[in-house]
C-alpha cells in the first residue's frame, strides 16, 4: 500500500505543511485532517511544501479546494511551494495556478506572507 | 520486431472496490507500461488516468461500498496500450459530467469532474460502455507512437 504522511512546522504566524509520498483518494483524508487541525487552532496562513510528494490525483487536489475559501475568509491563504514538474503539470492542467499562488521554494512562499503582513501594518 | 513479441499481450487484475487498492492498481499498470517502453512522463500520465477511473468507480459506481469488484485488463497490440476497467456498480453517464469549473468549485468547496477531465486530457482515447444489470466498462488507450512524438 502506498504511503502518505504530513508533518507541520510553526514559522511564526505561518504554518508549513510538508507532504510526503502518495496523495490519492485513499490518503486524502490524512491531509484533510491536517488542514482541519490548523483551522481549529485559527492558523490561516499556510504554506504547503510539496518537496517530497511523489504523486497526486484529483482526490488530493480536491482537499485544497475544500479549505481555501474558509481560510481566505479569515484573511489567510494556502500558498503552494516546492512542486516537482510532474506534480505542477497536473495542477496546471486543471487551472489551479489561477486560484493558488505557487512558489519555487518554501522560503519564497513565506516571504510573500511576510510582505503582505508588513503592508497591513 | 522480435522484441515486441516478448511484451505483454494481455494481463488482468481483480481487486475489491477499496481506495487502499489504488496503489496496487497503479503498480500493476506501471509494470506493464514500463515493459512496453513508454517514457516515464507518459507512464505517469497513464497511471493517473487509471487511478482517476478507478477512484470514480469506487466513489460513484459502488458509492464507497468496499466489496464491489473492479477488474483491470491490459492489452498491448499494434503499438496500442489499452486498459479496460470493469465494474458491476451503478452505470455511469459520462455525458452528464460537465467540464471542470474551478470558480464554481471554489464557491462549493468541492470538486467534481476533475478526474474525467484528466483522463480525457492524458489519454488518446476514453470510452464508456454500460450494459445495464451486467457491467460497466471504461476503456483507456495510449498509442506508443503518439506518446513518442
Q: For every residue of chain B, which 3-state class applies, written as one string?
A: CHHHHHCCCEEEEEEECCHHHHHHHHHHHHHHHHHHCCCHHHHHHHHHHHHHHHHHHHHHHCCCCCCCEEEEEEEEECCEEEEEEEECCCCCCHHHCCCCCHHHHHHHCCCCCHHHHHHHHHCCEEEEEEECCCEEEEEEEEEHHHHHC
Verify whether the Cβ–Cβ distance A26 to B20 is below 8 Å.
yes
Verify whether the Cβ–Cβ distance A86 to B41 is below 8 Å.
yes
Distance CA B4, CA A121 (A): 67
Q: Which domain holds residue A107?
A: 4-116
Q: How many domains does chain A have?
A: 1
CB atoms within 10 A of CB B83: 23
A111 assigned to some structural domain: yes
What are the pLDDT digits (tens) for A53-100? Answer: 999 999 999 999 999 999 999 999 999 999 999 999 999 998 899 999
What are the pLDDT digits (tens) for B110-130? Answer: 666 889 999 999 999 999 999
- DSSP category for residue A82: -
CB-closest option in B26, B44, B111 to A61: B111
A27 assigned to some structural domain: yes
Q: Is the pLDDT of residue B148 over 60?
A: no
Verify whether the Cβ–Cβ distance B19 to A1 is below 8 Å.
no
Chain A closest CA to B103's CA: distance in Å? 8
A121 assigned to some structural domain: no
pTM of the model: 0.92
**Which of chain B's residues have a Cβ under 8 Å away from the Cβ of A69?**
106-107, 109
Helix (H, G, I), strand (E, B), or coil: what is residue A11? strand
Chain Cα centroid distance, residue A25: 17
A110 assigned to some structural domain: yes
Average pLDDT over residues B31-54: 96
pLDDT band at B2 (very low <50, low <70, confident <90, very high): very low
Count of pairs with CB atoms under 8 A, one residue in A, one in B? 75
A26 assigned to some structural domain: yes
CATH number at residue A58: 3.30.750.24
**Which of chain A's residues have a Cβ under 8 Å away from the Cβ of B58?**
25
What are the pLDDT digits (tens) for B14-35? Answer: 999 999 999 999 999 999 999 9
Measured between CA atoms, the residue of chain B closest to residue A3 is B23
pLDDT band at B6 (very low <50, low <70, confident <90, very high): low
Task: Report CA dihedral (A61, A64, A67, A72) to the nearest 10 degrees.
Answer: -140
Verify whether the Cβ–Cβ distance B111 to A62 is below 8 Å.
yes
A50 assigned to some structural domain: yes
Q: Which phi and psi angles does B35 have, rounded to 5°?
A: -60, -40
A37 assigned to some structural domain: yes
Measured between CA atoms, the residue of chain B closest to residue A1 is B23
Q: Which phi and psi angles does B100 have, rounded to 5°?
A: -65, 145
Domains of chain B: 6-148 (3.30.565.10)
- According to the model, what pLDDT value does residue B4 have? 52
A88 assigned to some structural domain: yes
ipTM over 0.95: no
CB atoms within 10 A of CB A120: 7
Amino acid at each position: 500500500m502506498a504511503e502518505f504522511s504530513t508533518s507541520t512546522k510553526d514559522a511564526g504566524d505561518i504554518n508549513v505543511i510538508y507532504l510526503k509520498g502518495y496523495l490519492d483518494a485513499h490518503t486524502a483524508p490524512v491531509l484533510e485532517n491536517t488542514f482541519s487541525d490548523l483551522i481549529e487552532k485559527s492558523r490561516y496562513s499556510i504554506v504547503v511544501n510539496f518537496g517530497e510528494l511523489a504523486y497526486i490525483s484529483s482526490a488530493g487536489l480536491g482537499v485544497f479546494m475544500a479549505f481555501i475559501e474558509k481560510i481566505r475568509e479569515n484573511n489567510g491563504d494556502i500558498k503552494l511551494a516546492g512542486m516537482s514538474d510532474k506534480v505542477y503539470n497536473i495542477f496546471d492542467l486543471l487551472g489551479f495556478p489561477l486560484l493558488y499562488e505557487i512558489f519555487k521554494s518554501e522560503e519564497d512562499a513565506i516571504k510573500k506572507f511576510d510582505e503582505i503582513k508588513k503592508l497591513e501594518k | 520486431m522480435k522484441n515486441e513479441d516478448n511484451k505483454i499481450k494481455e494481463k488482468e487484475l481483480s481487486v475489491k472496490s477499496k481506495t487502499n487498492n489504488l496503489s496496487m492498481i497503479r503498480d500493476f499498470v506501471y509494470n506493464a507500461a514500463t515493459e512496453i517502453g513508454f517514457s516515464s512522463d507518459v507512464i505517469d500520465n497513464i497511471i493517473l488516468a487509471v487511478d482517476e477511473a478507478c477512484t470514480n468507480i469506487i466513489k460513484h459506481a459502488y458509492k464507497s461500498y468496499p466489496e464491489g469488484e473492479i477488474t483491470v485488463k491490459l492489452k498491448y497490440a499494434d503499438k496500442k496500450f489499452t486498459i479496460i476497467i470493469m465494474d458491476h456498480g451503478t452505470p455511469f453517464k459520462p455525458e452528464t459530467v460537465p467540464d471542470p469549473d474551478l470558480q464554481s468549485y471554489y464557491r462549493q468547496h468541492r470538486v467534481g469532474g476533475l478526474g474525467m477531465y484528466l483522463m480525457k486530457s492524458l489519454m488518446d482515447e476514453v470510452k464508456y460502455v454500460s450494459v445495464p444489470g451486467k457491467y460497466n466498462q471504461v476503456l483507456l488507450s495510449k498509442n506508443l507512437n503518439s506518446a513518442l512524438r
